Every structure is written in C-alpha cells, then in structure tokens.
Amino acid sequence: MADADGSRRDLRGGALSAPRLRPGTPERAGLDPAETDRLVHEVRGLTSGERPWAAGAVVVAGRGPVLAVAEATGWAVRYAGYDPVTDRGVELPPQRRVAMTVDTPFDLASLTKLFTSVAAVQQIERGTLGIDALVGAYLPEFRGAAGHGITVRQLLTHTSGLRPELPLYDCADAEERLARLRAEAPVGAPGSYLYSDLNMLLLQHLLERLTGRGLDVLIHEGITRPLGMTATRFGPCPAAAATEDQRRPWAKADRGMLRGEVHDENAWALGGVAGHAGLFSTGPDLAIFCRTLLAGGSHGPARILGPDFVELLLTPPGLGFALDQPWFMGELAGRGAAGHTGFTGTSLVLDPATDTFLILLANTVHPRRRPANSGPRAAAGTRIARAVRAVRGA
C-alpha cells in the first residue's frame, strides 16, 4: 500500500520506499517564496565585486520531497592564478572564464567525512562493526590508537584525542605516511572533543581492513550508486570548480592552480581517496543525500540505512555530523539540525525538525585561501528557517 506522499509500506507499516526528490516551487515545498528569493539574491551578491566572498556559488534547498531552490552564480573558473605582490587574483579574459552552473561539481573537502561516517554506520547496522569496539581490535599495528584504547565511537565523534592533522604531504613515500599514522598517539585525553582529520583516516583504514574493499568502492556501492548520485565520486574531476593557486607559504604544497584535483594536501598525498577529503559532487546530488537521510535512509526504492541507524547517526553529539551549530547553520540550528562545512567553501545542513535541507557550495579558496568566514552560510540558514516559519505563521 502507498501513503499520500507516494511512499510504499508493507502490511505492518514499515517503509519499503520513500518518494523521490522532485523539482517544484517554494510554495509546493512549504517555503515562503519571498524568503527564498532573498536567499538567492543574497547568494548572488556573494560572488560580485573585485574581492567577492567566492568566485562562484551554487545554492540548493528544499523541504520534504520538493527541491525548491537550485541557483548558480558567478564563476567556476575566474582566475589564472594569485599574485602575492598585489594580493589579488590574476583575472582570466572573459572568454576563458567558466561560468558556474547548478551542475558544476565541487571539491567537497570535509563533507567527505559525512560519507565515510555513513559507510561506517552501514557496517554497524550489518553487525560487522561494533560502535564501541576498540580500533586496535581491527588495526593492531596502529600502535598509537591501539595502545590508548581508542574506540570506533571516538573516531566518529572526534573524541579520540588525536591531533587535527599530520603533515603527511611532507613524507617521502607511502610507507613513511603509513608508518606515521600507525605510530600516532592521542595528544588529548580520549573522550574529550578535538576535531581531527586523523579520525576519518583511521576509520578509512578500519573499514578497508574489515571489508577488503577501498573506501571509494564502499561509498560508490553503498551510497552513491543505489541513490543514483552519478556526479559524486573521488577525483580527478576535470569539470569541477577551480580551487586554489596552491603555493607555499600560504599553502602546504606547491601545486599551482587546482581544478579537478583534490585541494586538501594530505588527501592529495594519499592518492586522492581519503576518509576526510577527496570527494567531488554537485548541489543536486547532495540534495538526494540530504533527502535520503531526512526520509529515514531511503530514496525511492533505494535504502542505504534503516531509520534507527539514521537516528543513531544524527543523535547528539552526532556521528560525523555536527549538530546545532549556529555559526554556519544560522537559525536552522536549535532542534537537531545536522551538517558540516568544507574548507574549500562547501556546506550542507539538514533539519529533521522541519524536514528541510540547505546546500551552499562555493569556491571560496579561488584563487587562494583566506581566513574562514561562515557568516554567509549562517545567513543562508537563517533565510531557510524564516521561509519555514513564515509559512507556518510562527
């Protein structure tokens, strides 16, 4: 039998499928069109002027199974490089620039962590991985983690005590990089929060040891292929929005202007597939990912997680996901909103309380990285929260 929204259920009421995401108007989604118009106008303003917040941006938002906003602005490629003398980007001639489109892929940076986390929870659901199991039980040669009793849960919640990163990009070869990871011990007390890319790198090694498959294969077979996310994959991705003219001293490696190759220096050193960074995706593909989690793990006939395990993923403090962070969620934060940001300028938020999602993708590091400014992300979240409230009359 089917519900009014088109989802199918078995005779005991269990969900067999969830309605697919479909394009529609803000009104059909239950969002105030005046607020969504303001959202689009404000995002367009972020890419204008000589020193914009980002060279280009894509904003995608929806509620329920309706994709209500999908807009692109600015440039996927605007600069040939960065001039440190003038502290300005070297502009490409207009005919050589590449306009941003809704379907432009972006280097997701740390949004990759969300996919790694889902892949881990899939193994927890199958019973092949224990959430409170010791990392050393799976990776005994990782002496630092094994010797300090770090658990899978601590990796997923950034409470392992591992430092934020290691300079793996400066190691001589893959053997030295692996040796450093294996020896790395916590610098903080396990159980206390310290955000670390190393958590997801260890989790990647654990998942690959457990399943005998690479992380890229796990994410493709377990998440993106069943959901039809055909634009989401590890690089190279030649059509992606450009990122940084990556050079020392502002960067950690000398690689020149990057487009289609992972920006994160450690992910690059590791071959482009890493638990903390390396995925490329588009706004529409990420909308499917958000909608799937809001619908309890299903999208159409595809199911990547059961509702109980989506709840586990999003229960405070969140497994991989950050919860209720006003600094990038704005007024969407407060009742269990979940999401993440990425260093290259990416972010997503899903709000189970209002069945709403917001994706803002921007190449803020083009032509070079700047001090982080998540004010525009928070402002966008506030616009969507107000779009919901205006319809509810709250």
The model's pLDDT over 7-35, given as tens digits with 9 standing for 90+, comes to 444 333 444 578 999 999 999 999 999 99
State residue 12's pLDDT score. 35
State residue 142's pLDDT score. 98
Q: Are residues 180 and 225 in the same domain?
A: yes
Task: Give the span between the Cα atoms of 347 and 56, in whole angstroms.
Answer: 14
Number of domains in the chain: 2
Which parts of the chain sit beneath pLDDT 70? 1-16, 393-394
Q: Are residues 149 and 274 in the same domain?
A: yes
Q: Are residues 156 and 74 in the same domain?
A: no
State residue 9's pLDDT score. 43
3-state class (DSSP) for residue 170: helix
Q: Could you count the other beta carbons within 10 Å of the beta carbon of residue 363? A: 32
Distance (Å) of CA 232 to CA 65, 221, 348, 394: 20, 12, 15, 37
Q: Are residues 220 and 113 in the same domain?
A: yes
Nearest to 104 by CA among 68, 55, 41: 55
Q: Are residues 121 and 207 in the same domain?
A: yes
Domain extent for 96:
21-107+360-394
Q: Are residues 100 and 113 in the same domain?
A: no
State residue 392's pLDDT score. 74
Q: What is the pLDDT of residues 103-113, one digit of tens each?
A: 999 999 999 99
Q: What is the pLDDT of residues 302-315, one digit of tens each?
A: 999 999 999 999 99
Q: Are residues 251 and 223 in the same domain?
A: yes
Q: Are residues 84 and 213 in the same domain?
A: no
State residue 180's pLDDT score. 97
Q: Are residues 97 and 165 in the same domain?
A: no
State residue 10's pLDDT score. 37
Residue 131 is assigned to a structural domain of this protein: yes
Residue 92 is assigned to a structural domain of this protein: yes
Q: Are residues 114 and 63 in the same domain?
A: no
Q: Are residues 53 and 119 in the same domain?
A: no
